[in-house]
Amino acid sequence: MPVVTITGLIGSGTAEIGPAVARSLGVDYVDRMILAQAAKKIGTTVAAVAERTERSPSLGDRVAGFMRNVLERSAMAGGGADPYFGGGLDALLVREYRDLPLEGEISDDSLSDAHLAEVTRAVINELAASGAIVIAGRGANVILADQPGVLHIGLVSALEKRIERIVEREKLDRTAAERFVAENDKARNAYFKRFFQVKPNDPSHYHVMVNTDWLEIDETAELIVLAASKLTGP
């Protein structure tokens, strides 16, 4: 079973389709919110959690362990300050694109763009190395571009449809939803350009691009699962 990355414009269905694909494949699903939850556990080792509760470590525990190991290897452990990782390290992993600090806004010189990107790559690579998993966003498709057995899916949708979804999902009025989408689109483009020097909607970064205006969530998930099975073979 392959690793699957799913990347899409805000409101294109990633938040709904990603978990549906993971359920169908019987694998873990990781997105920004799961990374944020795991980050809160970063001071606790997976072994300690498992020993204390006498249970197998959860996905959140395992992801927290990945993050902690990466921080230790990058000599950034002990940063300790809020939020979670201290002075900006959380930015690429757990924040909305529109909430990322601008270039030059991170005061700690050790947290340069290059260092932030390095740690983000390390965490995503650890997740992929852990086995079959669905990873949403965070530039995972670019980070894992050269790894065999990884399927990259891009989701696209018309602006009007995306705004409608955000109105419903975020409980916003039309004007606020339009602003929400516009801000996220701009920030997402800036994120990929700043940290990966690519355009996020470039089809060359994906095995398959799906227009979610034409397919329902379950249909899109089925298509992705089929593509995953073709990638791994019989």
Of the ranges 72-76, 105-109, 222-226, the best mean pLDDT one: 222-226
Nearest to 223 by CA among 10, 232, 142, 215: 215
Query: Could you report the per-residue pLDDT of 192-210, keeping only the tens digit for each?
Result: 888 888 898 899 999 999 9
CATH number of the domain enclosing 221: 3.40.50.300
Enumerate the H helices of 26-158 as residue ranges: 32-39, 46-53, 59-73, 91-94, 113-129, 140-143
Number of domains in the chain: 2
User: Domain of 79?
Assistant: 32-130
Give the other-Cβ count within 10 Å of 198's Cβ. Answer: 15
Domain co-membership, 106 together with 194: no
Q: How far apart are CA 172 and CA 39, in angstroms?
A: 28
Give the other-Cβ count within 10 Å of 188's Cβ. Answer: 22
Domain co-membership, 143 together with 221: yes
Domain co-membership, 220 together with 138: yes
- Of the listed ranges 51-55, 140-144, 225-229, the least confidently predicted one is 51-55
Among 72, 107, 130, give the residue marking a domain's end: 130
Domain co-membership, 150 together with 234: yes
Domain co-membership, 13 together with 64: no
Structure tokens at 163: 């705004």
Give the other-Cβ count within 10 Å of 46's Cβ. Answer: 20
Query: Could you report the per-residue pLDDT of 101-132, keeping only the tens digit for each?
Result: 555 555 454 456 676 677 778 878 888 887 78
- For the entire predicted model, the pTM comes to 0.76
Structure tokens at 156: 């696209």
Asked whether residue 54 carries a pLDDT value surpassing 50, the answer given is: no
